[in-house]
Homo-oligomer: A and B are copies of this chain.
Amino acid sequence: MAGEDLGLKAKKSENFAEWYPEVVLKAGLADYSPVKGCMIIKPHGYAIWELIQQYFNKRLKELGVKNAYFPLFIPERFFKKEAEHAAGFKPEVAWIEAEKGEERLAVRPTSETIMYDAYARWIRSWRDLPLKINQWCNVVRWETKATKLFLRTREFLWQEGHCVYATKEECEKETYLYLKEYERLCKELLAIPVIPGKKTEQEKFAGADFTLTVEAFMPDGRALQMGTSHSLGQNFAKAFGIKYMGKDEKEHYAWQNSWGFSTRLIGAVIMMHGDDKGLILPPGIAPVQAVIVPIYFKDAEKKKVFEVCEKVKKELENSFRVEFDSREEYTPGFKFNDWELKGVPIRIEIGPKDVAKKQVVIVRRDTGAKVEVKLKDVANYLSDALEKVHKNLYERTLKHLKKSIVEVKDYEQFKEFAEKRMLLKCGFCGKKECEERIKEETGLTSRCIPINAKEKKCIICGKKGEETYFSKGY
């Protein structure tokens, strides 16, 4: 019950590596589990995921994408059908102990193969296209690196969209469309600015023609991939026999894309917006958008204060996710710390003086700003305040992103700013040798070639290239 237990020991600016897991644990977002590499997503963390799902399900509906569910297990032979895909995922697959005479089954690391086997049976004619299916599920990748809650775990939750089209044009157009959706989700829901772009050949999805990505840049100087959209061309269609009878009455291989984001997004939100007091949640994904905390010293005051609190809650709860913290075993000070740690964007304090003056005190989590607001104006004020919180969080992170980007002229400068953990922009030819040299010598990997990148000579070999971002990655 001691209030001091609630506070964070590590400071974000001083010790980011310790601050991050401490916030995750103390804010009640997630916990480690006795299964190596697997995390428990606790109610506060899961509620954030549900709000992301709600937002995105609405968007999917408008885009004509339908949800479905495919098996957790994938027969071993499926992995062998698309050679690049198989090679890309093989090292991190978990297998089920096979029964005698039965085929070995993998726990899905991603669902291309199990879904496309079904697609090949379902798709017959042009009338069946486009086919647009999304799946919310758990996936497993047998990571060997150290576990980081939300960021690197052997099991995680995600959505994976898998669409099939009659033409290359439609397919590629929509590959960009889903990337645009991810960019929008990051901005509108998570208040995180991202750089949309294309992955280099070395960094693209195993089995794709090309991979698009939205990259965010974290306060510790590493880029985080927030979502990816892969144009699969006809690679899987040919491997799995996804063919359709065209209007021309001839058989054609179909075109496909796949796209996804995961519970990693929650990790990004924590890192991007949190501070030394704990989490700061953008209002769109805050399970509690405003918390009402009663303040009273004598029992006589309590009744009146509680009455007003209940009244305010009732007025707000139809339009906002609001909670009245009526716990009597904790002090207001403890509650302030508790809700700040949990990242609730707005606190509404109501004490005897406020009751007398027909007002409440509204405190913003992001700035700490405190304002007295008349009771009759609370709903309007809150609506406005939540918008301001979102805007401020976005602007703050946008400023950080802009400050982090450095255009480097030569490899000397590249190495200098790589040490400083910046997001480097330079010319790059796309060749494996050049990318591997950069990785070996600086530890940096390419993040993306931004949309509409300009031509620019490669910082390593001097040959023809394009503007490309490099940084440390997660």
Interface positions of A (Cβ within 8 A of B): 1, 31, 33-36, 38-43, 45-47, 49-50, 66-75, 78, 94-97, 102, 105, 107, 114, 117-118, 121-122, 127, 133, 137-138, 140, 155, 157, 329
Instruction: Flag if A35 contacts B114 (CB, 8 Å).
Output: yes
Q: Give the residues in chain B near A45, CB-CB below 8 Å.
A: 68
Complex: A90 Cα to B455 Cα, angstroms? 62
Inter-chain contact B72/A38, CB cutoff 8 Å: yes
Query: A66: which B residues are within 8 A, CB to CB?
Result: 43, 46-47
- Do the beta carbons of B72 and A34 come within 8 Å of each other? no
Chain B, residue nearest A66 (CB): B43
A155 pairs with B36, CB closer than 8 A: no
| C-alpha spacing A67/B39, complex, angstroms | 15
Q: Contact between A35 and B118 (Cβ–Cβ < 8 Å)?
A: no
> Nearest chain-B residue to A96 (Cβ)?
B94
Residues on B with C-beta less than 8 A from A74 are: 35
Q: How far is the CB of A422 from chain B (nearest CB, A)?
A: 36
User: Which one, B42, B95, B117, B157, contacts A96 given CB within 8 A?
Assistant: B95
Residues of B within 8 Å of A95, CB to CB, are: 96-97
Partner of A34, one of B36, B67, B68, B75: B75
A446 to chain B, nearest CB (A): 32
Beta-carbon contact of B31 and A155 below 8 Å = no
State the Cβ distance, A85 to closest chain B Cβ, in Å: 17
B36/A102 in contact, CB under 8 A: yes
- Structural contact, A69 and B46, CB atoms closer than 8 A: yes
Mind listing 10 A-B residue pairs with CB under 8 Å? A31-B118, A35-B71, A38-B71, A38-B72, A39-B71, A40-B69, A45-B68, A72-B107, A73-B155, A96-B107
What are the residues of chain B within 8 A of A43 when measuring CB–CB? Answer: 66-68, 133
Min CB distance A286 to B, Å, is 15
Which residues of B have CB within 8 Å of A40? Answer: 68-71, 118
Q: How far is the CA of A31 from the CA of B67 in the complex (A)?
A: 15
Q: In the assembled complex, how far is the CB of residue A414 from the closest CB belonging to chain B, in whole angstroms?
A: 39
- Which one of B71, B107, B137 lies within 8 Å of A33 (CB-CB)? B71
Complex contact A72–B138 (CB within 8 A): yes
> What separation, in Å, do the CA atoms of A50 and B127 have in the docked complex?
27
B residues near A1, Cβ cutoff 8 Å = 127
CA distance in complex: A127, B36 (Å):
30
Give Cα distance in the complex from A68 to B28, angstroms: 11
Knowing A35-B114, A114-B33, A329-B127, say if A68 contacts B42 (CB, 8 Å): yes
User: How far in angstroms is the closest Cβ of chain B from A410?
Assistant: 45
Which residue on B lies nearest to A124, using beta carbons?
Answer: B1
Distance to closest chain B CB from A234 (angstroms): 22
CA distance A69 to B33 in the complex (A): 11
**Chain B residues closer than 8 Å to A47, beta-carbon distance:** 66-67
Q: A35-B71, A43-B68, A45-B68 are in contact. List 15 more A-B contacts (CB 8 A).
A: A33-B70, A33-B71, A33-B114, A35-B73, A36-B102, A38-B71, A40-B68, A40-B71, A41-B68, A43-B67, A49-B69, A71-B155, A72-B138, A96-B97, A97-B97
Q: Which of B46, B69, B138 interacts with A41 by CB under 8 Å?
A: B69
The chain B residue sitting closest to A28, CB to CB, is: B122
- Per the bound structure, the CA–CA distance linking A118 and B41 in Å amounts to 11
Q: CA separation between A209 and B373, bound complex, in Å?
A: 54
Question: Whole-angstrom distance from the CB of A262 to the nearest CB of chain B?
Answer: 13
Give 4 closest A-B pairs by Cβ, nearest first: A43-B66, A38-B71, A41-B69, A95-B97
Which residues of chain B have C-beta atoms less than 8 A from A121's C-beta?
Answer: 31
Please report the C-alpha to C-alpha distance between residue A41 and residue B114 in the assembled complex, in whole angstroms: 13
Q: How far is the CA of A39 from the CA of B465 in the complex (A)?
A: 48
> Chain B residues near A42 (CB, 8 Å)?
68
Which B-chain residue is minimally distant from A78 (CB atoms)? B34
A155 to B70, CA, bound (A): 10
Task: For the complex, give the distance between the alpha carbons of A370 and B398 in Å.
Answer: 60
CA distance A68 to B263 in the complex (A): 13
Complex CA gap A46/B68 in Å reads 5
A127 to B35, CA, bound (A): 28
- With CB as the reference atom, state the residue of chain B lying closest to A133: B43
Residues in B neighbouring A107, C-beta threshold 8 A: 72, 96, 107
